[in-house]
Structure 1
Amino acid sequence: MIVTLIVLCEVGFWVLLAAGLATRYLLKMPRAGMALLLCEPVLEVVLLVVTAIDLKNGAEPSWEHGLAALYIGYTVGHGHRTVKWLDGHAAHRLGGGPRPPKPPRYGMARARHEGRVWLGSLVGGAVATVLLLLAVRYVGGDGNTESLWSWMFAAWRAVGIHGLIALSYLIWQKKDPGSGSAVPARDPEDVPDLLVGRPGQDEQKV
C-alpha cells in the first residue's frame, strides 16, 4: 500500500505542477496557479500520515516505510528547485518571459552551483533521517527496525557520494576552452525566483 501511495504522490506532484503552471501562464491566473503549486507539499503530508497510521496499526517496519521517508526527504530537498526550474521555462515559453539561464559550466560558478544542489541532498538526507528515527522510536524495542536503519545508512551514503561529486567540481575546476582559464559564468541562483510576483510583465524585467 505504501509503495502505491508513493507512486500516486509522484503522479500527483506532476499533475499539480502542470495544472499550476498552465493556470498561471495559459489562463493568466497567477494566484490560482500559485495556490495549486502550494498544494504540492500536502501530498508529502498525506504520505507521512498514512505511513504513521500503518505503523500504528501494527505493520512490521519494512523497506516500504524507509522508501517513504527517503521520498519525502528528497521532495523537501529538491522539490523547490525542480518547481523553480520548470516555472522559469514555463514563464519563457508560455508567458513571454526571458529565456532561463543555463547552469554555469566552468570555474567557481559551476562549483557553487553543484554545492547548492548538494545542499538539497543534505537537507533531504537530514529530513529522511529524522523521519526514520521517529519511526524507530515509535515502533520501540519490540519491533524489527533493521530495515529502517538500513535505509538511514543508504540515505547518508547517497549524500556522501553526491558530496564527493560536488567537491570534485571545486578541486578540479573545468576551464573555459575559449579562454584557457576558469571563468565565473553567470550563476542561475542569482536570478530572482520566478515563483514570486506576477507572470508576464514582471518576468520580463528580470
Structure 2
Amino acid sequence: MNFIAWMIVACEIAFWVVILGGLITRYVFKKEKAGLILLALTPVIDVILMFLASYDLYNGATATTAHGIAAVYIGISIAFGKNMIEWADHRFQYYIMRQGPKPMKKYGYAYAKHYAKGWIRHVVAYVIGAGILAISIYIINDYQRTESFIQLIKLWAVVVGIDALITISYFIWPKPVKQQN
C-alpha cells in the first residue's frame, strides 16, 4: 500500500477518534464547548488528507486510485459529515449515556424519503469529489498521470446510478415494518 492509501486509513481512523473524543468530552466529562471544538476538527482532517494527496501529485507522482479516494473522501465528508456526527451523537447518548430517546428505525415511505435524502447527499458528494478530480486532471494536464482519476469518476457515476435505482425501488416496494416477537 502506498503512502496516500495509508494516509486515507489514518484520516478515517482520526475522523472517528475525533468524533468519539468529542462525544466523550461532551457527555462524560460535561465539557460541551471542548466537545464541540473536537467535533469541529473533523474538516481539518479532510484538509490534511487533501494537502498530502496534492503535495504528492505536485511532486510528480502518478495519480492512483488512492489519490482519487482522497477526493471522494472529501466529497463524502462534506455531504455526509454533519449527518454522520448526528448519527453517532444520538447513538452515543442512548446506548452509552442511557439518555434520550431510542434511535427510531424508519419503514415504508418514511424510509424511502430518508433514503432519497441520503441519495441526494450522495449526488452532492459526487459533484464535490468528481469536481476535485476534474480540477486535478485539468491542472496536471497529463492523461497518463491522471487516467485513474477518469476511471474513478466513471465508476463513481455508476455507483450513484445504482444508488438511484435502489432509492426508486424503496418507493415502489417500501421497506416493511418488522414484526416484534
TM over 0.5: yes
8 Å Cα contact 1:51/1:65 also seen in 2: yes
Match of 1:157 in 2: 158
Alignment map for 1:70-81 (pairs within 5 Å): 70-81=72-83
Runs of 4+ displaced beyond 3 Å: 93-97, 174-178
Deviation at 1:20, TM superposition (A): 0.3
* Cα distance in 1 for residues equivalent to 2:52 and 2:177: 50
* Structure number, greater radius of gyration: 1
Structure 1 vs Structure 2: percent identity of aligned residues? 32
CA contact (8 A) 1:77 1:121 kept: yes
Report the CA distance shift for 1:167/1:148 in structure 2 as closer, same or farther (over 3 A): same
Q: Which residue of 2 aligns with 1:9?
A: 11
Tell me which amino acid in the other structure corresponds to 1:98: G
Q: 1:50 to 1:177 in 2, by over 3 A?
A: closer
* Residue aligning to 1:50: 52
Residues 24 and 136 of structure 1, relative CA distance in 2, 3 Å threshold: same
The 10-residue stretch of structure 1 (74-83 or 131-140) with the greater mean CA deviation from structure 2: 74-83
Name the counterpart of 1:32: 34
Structure 1, unmatched stretches of 5+, are 179-206
Cα distance between partner residues in 2 of 1:12 and 1:59: 25
Whichever residue aligns with residue 26 of structure 2, its letter is: R
Shift of 1:110: 1.5
RCO higher in structure (CA 8 A, sep ≥6): 1
Structure 2 equivalent of residue 204 of structure 1: none
Equivalents in 2 of 1:104, 1:89: separation in Å? Answer: 15
Q: Which amino acid aligns with 2:63?
A: P
What's the counterpart of residue 139 of structure 2? 138
Structure 2 gap ranges (5+): none
Q: Which of the pair is proportionally richer in helix?
A: 2
Q: Residues 135 and 171 of structure 1: is their aligned pair in 2 closer, same or farther, counting only changes over 3 Å?
A: same
Alignment-derived partner of residue 171 in structure 1? 172
Match of 1:68 in 2: 70
Paired positions, count: 177
Structure 1 residues 85 and 140: CA distance shift in structure 2, 3 A: same
Looking at structure 2, the residues matched to 26 and 127 of structure 1 have their Cα atoms a distance apart, in angstroms, of: 35
C-alpha distance in structure 1 between counterparts of 2:10 and 2:178, whole Å: 45
Counterpart of 1:112? 113
Closer, same or farther in 2 for the Cα pair 1:152/1:93, shift >3 Å?
same
Match of 1:97 in 2: 99
* Contact 1:132/1:152 (<8 A) preserved: yes
**Distance in 2 between the 1:85 and 1:53 partners?**
33
Distance in 1 (alpha carbons) for counterparts of 2:45 and 2:104: 30
Q: Which digits, 9 at most, give the CA deviation of each residue in 1:152-200, with x for residues without a partner?
A: 111111111111101111122345588xxxxxxxxxxxxxxxxxxxxxx
Task: Summarize the Cα distance change of 1:69–1:177 in structure 2 as closer, same or farther, 3 Å threshold.
Answer: closer
